[in-house]
Amino acid sequence: MPNKIDLPYTRYLAPDGRLSGDLPAWADDFNLLTRLYRQMVLTRLFDQKAVALQRTGRIGTYAPTLGQEAIGVAIGCLMHPEDVLIPYYRDTAVQLMRGVKMEEILLYWGGDERGSAYVDPAVREDFPLCVPIATQALHACGVASAFKIRGEHRVAVTTCGDGATSKGDFLEALNVAGAWQLPVVFVVNNNQWAISVPRRIQCGAPTLAQKAIGAGFHGEQVDGNDILAVYDRMRIALERARHGKGPVLLECISYRLGDHTTADDATRYRPAEEVKQAWQEEPIKRLQTFLASQGVWDEGREQALVAECQAEVQASVDVFEAAGIQPVESVFEHVYAQWPAVLADQREMLLERAARRGGERHE
Amino acid sequence: MSDKISLLEAVNLALHRAMAEDENVVVLGEDVGVNGGVFRATLGLRETFGFKRVIDTPLAETMIGGLAVGMAAQGLKPVMEIQFMGFIYAAMEQLVSHASRLRNRTRGRLTCPLVLRTPMGAGIRAPEHHSESTEAMFAQIPGVRVVIPSSPARAYGLLLAAIDDPDPVIFLEPTRLYRMNPQVVVDDGKRLPLDTCFTLREGNDLTLISWGASIHETLQAATQLAERGVSAEVIDVACVKPLDLDTLEASVRKTGRCVIVHEAPKSCAVGAEIAASLYERVLLDLQAPIQRVTAPDIPPPLYRLEQLYMPGPDDILAACDTVLNYA
């Protein structure tokens, strides 16, 4: 094949949790590994709670991150606070790791803009979740351009799914990132499914990572269910970008264990056998098995961790449920820096409507 | 200082001023750097402010729009040029789904103080896709401002205000006026307001409402009316979003007669919005139904027939006769 492109593929932990090859030096730090493990468990418990809240009508549609915890936790853990995350809509894992609060994520999916107002100073420049596919990749290039213009050693990190790599926006973003050697890292969560369309008919290229080659920069694949692999390669990608050595595309190969969103039913289009197989390779059990094999994890620690995480999740649900609804006036507050005086009558119209409806719930 | 300059030169002067005043202002687009823009609106900026702030981008309008959103969220003030309005649609998603909403989505945490400049309109014998006037599409977007200058002085003052503005502004420059009617513009940095109409000529018998290139023919019609002893008030809307209806209302209440002139196709255009709003406010003060003088709902013809597309003084005068002679 004259056009074959060989790209690196990294995996340290096999699906059964056994080590394949030597560990990188940083992975000797078991405190770090148990911290990553804890965050993956917390993410999954929160994710399950969010789905349960949707099923009981307490939040709206939610996009579960089930199965992709390793990718998000690793990149969120490695980014510096001054870096900027430009996420897509399946990014609960990375957002929690960055410092977005669980109650903010619930507010967002629960129909309240305050969920994207992020109070933690560490994430005050991060973008909110992006719903229109791949459009965020361009924002990342704009953010990275600003870093470059100002001579700052910061990195813009943007995420997307495998389907997003088919869009012109994604390819235009890769193109400009390569042309200008921007400090940006593109993380593709290749979870094999874009709603009902499988990876094999999404794109004719053997890898998604090789799209970077056409744009003139480095791309590679990692096992996205092996947090050691994602962490190791993301660490190097961030370092490259931070030191002016150009962008990186990291294709993290994983599997969307849940439905596309709570409004989707994946049993309509994919075989149960495939999902069952994918559960054998999921990231949390894999790291747990490894940690246990190293003697730093056991059933007792697991039970204590789950109880602790469940309490943390429940506390966030309590905060979310106590938040109340924004005042009616708030819908005008941030459309413009100041609501234009020439549109005052429209504001009056809505306030009157609200007053007329009185005690009715505005939802 | 007293030399007359064209609208195009006024745009260039405002860009120089804005970049000198605020180092966060950056200019980006296709051919805006070394070449100074295909119309030369950005001429000399690269030499004065350097390649980091005057950026030749790859040829991709979606990308330019998205890039500007990212830059603006970081506190820069990007002024992007889309080479012609006919190529703006690739950037539409970035305007509709991101630039206009980022402030609201984040409760003011992130904002989008960008300016999108693009040449608009027919009348310069340009190729296909270089002659449209689709301002109404943008006027439908909550959270943006849509500004259309019709003289060198207004181009200067409105563009400076647009760059200052903390929200996205779509700044549409009528190509037909780029080199027409030069006037003295004092480079004093004075901004014009972004939410008022400009009354260009006062009158009592009828109100002529227009914006952009059509202002030229509207003023010609007003002059001819004056020769017939009819006193027409001429209002340049200039900021079609948000719309200063109060000024329009006051004028039509005074004159009782109104003609709206624009180069965009008739249906669902800004003229329709103005007419509907005026009927809501001043129906019983009207002496005649409001008339609209516009292009028909067709693509702008290629240039051999493009003069037919644009409303001329004759069309405007005929509409004026209709409202003046209404029983």
- Quick check: A138 and B62 CB within 8 A? yes
- Quick check: A342 and B195 CB within 8 A? yes
- Quick check: A117 and B106 CB within 8 A? yes
Residues in B 32-91 with any Cβ partner in A closer than 8 A:
52-53, 55, 57-58, 60, 62-63, 65-76, 78
Is some CB atom of chain A closer than 8 A to the CB atom of B289?
Answer: no
**pLDDT at position A358:** 81
pLDDT in tens, B234-268: 999 999 999 999 999 999 999 999 999 999 999 99
pLDDT in tens, B219-235: 999 999 999 999 999 99
> CA angle, B232 as apex, B231 and B237 as ends, to 5°?
160
**pLDDT at position A21:** 84
Closest residue on chain A to B50 (Cα): A149
Contacts of B103 in chain A (CB under 8 A): 334-337
Closest residue on chain A to B74 (Cα): A143
- Quick check: B66 and A141 CB within 8 A? yes
**Per-residue pLDDT tens digits of chain A, which is 363 residues long:** 556 788 999 999 999 999 988 999 999 999 999 999 999 999 999 999 999 999 999 999 999 999 999 999 999 999 999 999 999 999 999 999 999 999 999 999 999 999 999 999 999 999 999 999 999 999 999 999 999 999 999 999 999 999 999 999 999 999 999 999 999 999 999 999 999 999 999 999 999 999 999 999 999 999 999 999 999 999 999 999 999 999 999 999 999 999 999 999 999 999 999 999 999 999 999 999 999 999 999 999 999 999 999 999 999 999 999 999 999 999 999 999 999 999 999 999 999 999 999 855 554
A344–chain B nearest CA distance, Å? 11
Q: What is the 3-state secondary structure (H, E, C) of chain A?
A: CCCCCCCCEECCECCCCCECCCCCHHHHCHHHHHHHHHHHHHHHHHHHHHHHHHHCCCCCCCCCCCCCHHHHHHHHHHCCCCCEEECECCCHHHHHHHCCCHHHHHHHHCCCHHHHCCCCHHHCCCCCCECCCCHHHHHHHHHHHHHHHHCCCCCEEEEEECHHHHCHHHHHHHHHHHHHCCCEEEEEEECCEECCEEHHHCCCCCCCCCHHHHHCCEEEEEECCCHHHHHHHHHHHHHHHHCCCCCEEEEEECCCCCCCCCCCCHHHCCCHHHHHHHHCCCHHHHHHHHHHHCCCCCHHHHHHHHHHHHHHHHHHHHHHHCCCCCCCCHHHHCCCCCCCHHHHHHHHHHHHHHHHHCCCCCC
**pLDDT at position A5:** 84
B60–chain A nearest CA distance, Å? 7
Is some CB atom of chain A closer than 8 A to the CB atom of B108?
Answer: yes
Contacts of A84 in chain B (CB under 8 A): 74
The catalytic position among B98, B130, B216, B262 is: B130
CB A58 within 8 A of CB A321: yes
Whether A256 is catalytic: yes
Q: Between B69, B75, B143, which is nearest A335 by CB?
A: B143
**pLDDT at position A191:** 97
Closest residue on chain A to B144 (Cα): A336
Closest residue on chain B to A140 (Cα): B70
Best residue in B62, B67, B97, B240 to probe A by mutation, most A CBs within 10 Å?
B67
B122–chain A nearest CA distance, Å? 30
Contacts of B110 in chain A (CB under 8 A): 125, 127-128
**b/e sequence A324-362, b meaning 16+ C-beta within 10 Å:** eeeeeeebbbbbbeebbebbeeebeeeeeeeeeeeeeee
Best residue in A88, A148, A334 to probe B by mutation, most B CBs within 10 Å?
A334
Q: Do domains B4-184 and B198-324 have the same CATH topology?
A: yes
Contacts of A146 in chain B (CB under 8 A): 70-71, 74-76
Is some CB atom of chain A closer than 8 A to the CB atom of B110?
Answer: yes
Q: Between B60, B97, B243, which is nearest A342 by CB?
A: B243
The catalytic position among A233, A240, A260, A286 is: A260
- Quick check: A335 and B104 CB within 8 A? yes
Q: Is the pLDDT of residue B76 over 70?
A: yes
Assigned CATH class of B198-324: alpha beta
ipTM: 0.96
| CATH fit for domain B4-184, picks 3.40.50.720, 3.40.50.970, 1.10.510.10, 3.40.50.300 | 3.40.50.970
Best residue in A136, A155, A172, A343 to probe B by mutation, most B CBs within 10 Å?
A172
Phi, psi of B235 (to 5 degrees): -115, 125
Q: Which amino acid is at B151?
A: S
- Quick check: A139 and B167 CB within 8 A? no
How many A/B residue pairs have CB atoms within 8 Å?
A: 136
Q: Cβ neighbours of residue A31 under 8 Å, at least 6 residues apart?
A: none
Best residue in A126, A336, A345, A349 to probe B by mutation, most B CBs within 10 Å?
A336
pLDDT in tens, B130-176: 999 999 999 999 999 999 999 999 999 999 999 999 999 999 999 99
- Quick check: A336 and B62 CB within 8 A? no
**pLDDT at position B327:** 76
pLDDT in tens, B82-117: 999 999 999 999 999 999 999 999 999 999 999 999
Stated pTM of the model = 0.96
Contacts of A124 in chain B (CB under 8 A): 109
Whether B262 is catalytic: no
Q: Which sequence spans correspond to the domains of chain B? A: 4-184, 198-324
Give Rg (Cα) of chain A.
Answer: 21
